[in-house]
Chain A
Amino acid sequence: MSIAYLGLESVRQLKNVRSLVFTFAIPLVMLLLFGGIYGANGAVDKVTGLPWIVVTTVQMAGYGGMMAALGQAFTIVTERSLGWNRQLRLTPLSGMGYLLSKVVAALAVALLAIVALIIVSVVVFHSSLPFGSWAMAALGLWLGVIPFAFIALLIGQFAKPQFAQPLFMVIFFGMAILGGLWVPLSVLPSWMTNIAQVVPSYWLNRLGQMGANLSGDVLEPMLVLLAWTVGLGAVIVWRYRRDAARQ
């Protein structure tokens, strides 16, 4: 596995302005909107004990990170349809190496999204939190993004170009709503809150909140996210082997 390739591939994706605008614009607008509505008066969320503006920032940073990671699905689908991965198969890069490069790129773009949104929040709303808390919040969110990078690989492996968009939308909106990334779960019906306990986006958000709080039981979110990661990883490897055997 070539580190040089991983680096160059990540930088390439970070420079891809078009998809980055898409990744940042929506959560940024929502942050500015909701931040202004809920957060400006310094109110505190009773459930988490965090200021509303922090809760909103974590939500939107998680949303941005998730979107950045899931966006890799399009990269993979496009590259497959162009035949670029055929070109890559003429290099020492293995098929698994290719998938790994996409996970690394997903995490790189996600980290950028998370950090950028937190910075905007600090600058615009002066949301006050010690640096360490923000750093832990960002780290929590970043770890929580890993299963989404894997979901992106899976969409990339399975979807034909014309189905990638709708599939992405369904997964994306489902995850955003159920995970409480758009609106706090407390305003949703309780049955939805129950479902939320098993989706990775919920725990992505929770990990971010725990990081911001510098407290909380991280074992449960870690286990749920690990289960998702292992499960998705197993399907990806299975699919990869089947593809390889079919050629």
Chain B
Amino acid sequence: MNTTRAIEAPAIQLRGLRKTFGSITAVAGIDLTIQQGEVVALLGPNGAGKSTTIDLALGLASPTAGTATLFGEAPRTAIAAGRVGAMLQGGALLPDLTVAQAVALIAAAHKHPLSVAEALERAKCTEIAKQRVSKLSGGQAQRARFAVAIVSNPDLMFLDEPTAAMDVEARRTFWQSMREFTDAGRTVVFATHYLDEADAYADRIVMMAAGRVVADGTPGEVKAVVSGRRIRASFDFDWTPDIEAELAELPGVRSVEHRGDVLSLVSDDSDAALRTLLSLHQDVHDIEVTAHSMDDAFLALTAAADAAPSARASLPSAGPSSPSVEPVETGPAHNSALIGDRS
């Protein structure tokens, strides 16, 4: 990618991005290109490095290594041009202002802002415009912050766990105003740890764990990794490579593990897998079938990232599974852990 200033420059381009705080590595090498118009969920558990990645992309933190550009330019340039809005964690509004005043104050700092009324309207804040920020509920405060974030009429929006303090109704309203924003072809990156939210509102999910991108694909592709059920059972037979191979052949099975006399299978078709398992092995007991949680998926994907790259075979990968989850200094491969083909 040498097109640094093309008109269709990617909204976000991160290359070899690393950030360490003392001995702690928050971001361990991220290469990510997000095109204009994409709605991307940054999905991952706490401590995955989502917030730090956003800070680096915005130039609020400077990377230990690597570069971040927005629309082919330094983040600061894109921000100064009013092309970037963000709702960050720990970015509270001044409590003694009203919502409208807070929006007006930020608008005054921008060169070509929306009118305050329009920003309030788009963020569904018109009824709370005259309320003091300190008196807002969690969901209202987030909406007010969204109004502040869109007042520059940005082309790109970062949202760091935007719905964290919201109830169901507030969430619905929030995503509705978000939809209106993205329908105009704008780019949105939001961090979340809710898979359903990522699934419903993103057209691409970038999964992070331990400072790395561990999966990158459409919601369908990522859900395939996360979905499925885990079958856990005790067994009395001797564990042999043959049996392990046989279990791996059960319907829909994606992984097989055992610890002591307890085996654990992850299957996309747990009913069929369980029927076959029981018909093959009468001596399996204490069976437990649980939904394969997000945590399981993260753990599996992180473990895969830490181990040899071939361990990524557990992903239902059809695309070019480039084994580039290791630190990026190794080469120009810029889409780490790609599930679908996006290059």
Instruction: Indicate if the CB atoms of A86 and B91 lie closer than 8 Å.
Output: yes
Instruction: Indicate if the CB atoms of A8 and B104 lie closer than 8 Å.
Output: yes
Instruction: Indicate if the CB atoms of A86 and B80 lie closer than 8 Å.
Output: no
Instruction: Indicate if the CB atoms of B93 and A5 lie closer than 8 Å.
Output: no
Instruction: Indicate if the CB atoms of A86 and B105 lie closer than 8 Å.
Output: no
Given A79-B94, A91-B152, check contact A86 B60 (CB 8 Å): yes
Give the residues in chain A near B91, CB-CB below 8 Å. Answer: 83-84, 86-87
Give the number of chain A interface residues (Cβ < 8 Å): 22
Q: Does B291 contact A (CB under 8 A)?
A: no
| Residue from B60, B62, B93 within 8 A of A89 (CB atoms) | B60
Q: Does A197 contact B (CB under 8 A)?
A: no
| Main secondary structure on B side of the interface with A | loop
Instruction: Indicate if the CB atoms of B95 and A82 lie closer than 8 Å.
Output: yes
Please measure, in the bound complex, the distance between the C-alpha atom of A111 and the C-alpha atom of B96, giving whole angstroms: 23
Closest residue of chain B to A82 (Cβ to Cβ) is B92
Instruction: Indicate if the CB atoms of B109 and A2 lie closer than 8 Å.
Output: yes
| Main secondary structure on A side of the interface with B | helix
Instruction: Indicate if the CB atoms of A93 and B92 lie closer than 8 Å.
Output: no
Instruction: Indicate if the CB atoms of A12 and B105 lie closer than 8 Å.
Output: yes
Give the number of chain B interface residues (Cβ < 8 Å): 31
| Residue from A7, A79, A83, A91 within 8 A of B106 (CB atoms) | A91
List A residues 76-118 near B (Cβ within 8 Å): 79, 82-84, 86-93
Q: Does B110 contact A (CB under 8 A)?
A: yes
Instruction: Indicate if the CB atoms of A92 and B88 lie closer than 8 Å.
Output: no
Please measure, in the bound complex, the distance between the C-alpha atom of A79 and the C-alpha atom of B91, giving whole angstroms: 10
0 or 1 for each of A18-32: is its CB under 8 Å from B? (1 = yes) = 000000000000000
Q: Does B280 contact A (CB under 8 A)?
A: no
Please measure, in the bound complex, the distance between the C-alpha atom of A49 and the C-alpha atom of B181, giving whole angstroms: 69
Given A90-B79, A90-B86, A92-B82, check contact A84 B109 (CB 8 Å): no
Instruction: Indicate if the CB atoms of A90 and B58 lie closer than 8 Å.
Output: yes
| Residue from A8, A88, A92 within 8 A of B80 (CB atoms) | A92
Q: Does B136 contact A (CB under 8 A)?
A: no
Q: Does B195 contact A (CB under 8 A)?
A: no
Instruction: Indicate if the CB atoms of A87 and B106 lie closer than 8 Å.
Output: yes
Give the residues in chain A near B96, CB-CB below 8 Å. Answer: 16
Please measure, in the bound complex, the distance between the C-alpha atom of A245 and the C-alpha atom of B61, giving whole angstroms: 9
| Residue from B79, B88, B94 within 8 A of A86 (CB atoms) | B88
Give the residues in chain A near B104, CB-CB below 8 Å. Answer: 8
Closest CB-CB distance, B338 to chain A, in whole Å? 30
Q: Does B85 contact A (CB under 8 A)?
A: yes
Please measure, in the bound complex, the distance between the C-alpha atom of A245 and the C-alpha atom of B109, giving whole angstroms: 24
Which 3 pairs between the two chains have the least Cβ-Cβ distance? A91-B109, A4-B108, A5-B108
List 26 contacting pairs A-B, 8 Å CB cutoff, sorted by A.
A2-B108, A2-B109, A2-B110, A2-B111, A5-B108, A8-B104, A8-B105, A8-B108, A9-B105, A12-B105, A16-B96, A82-B92, A83-B88, A83-B91, A86-B88, A86-B91, A87-B92, A87-B93, A87-B148, A89-B60, A89-B79, A90-B86, A91-B79, A93-B109, A247-B61, A247-B62
Extra contacts besides A82-B92, A90-B85, A247-B60 (10): CB < 8 Å: A9-B108, A82-B95, A84-B92, A84-B93, A87-B88, A89-B79, A90-B86, A92-B81, A92-B82, A92-B109
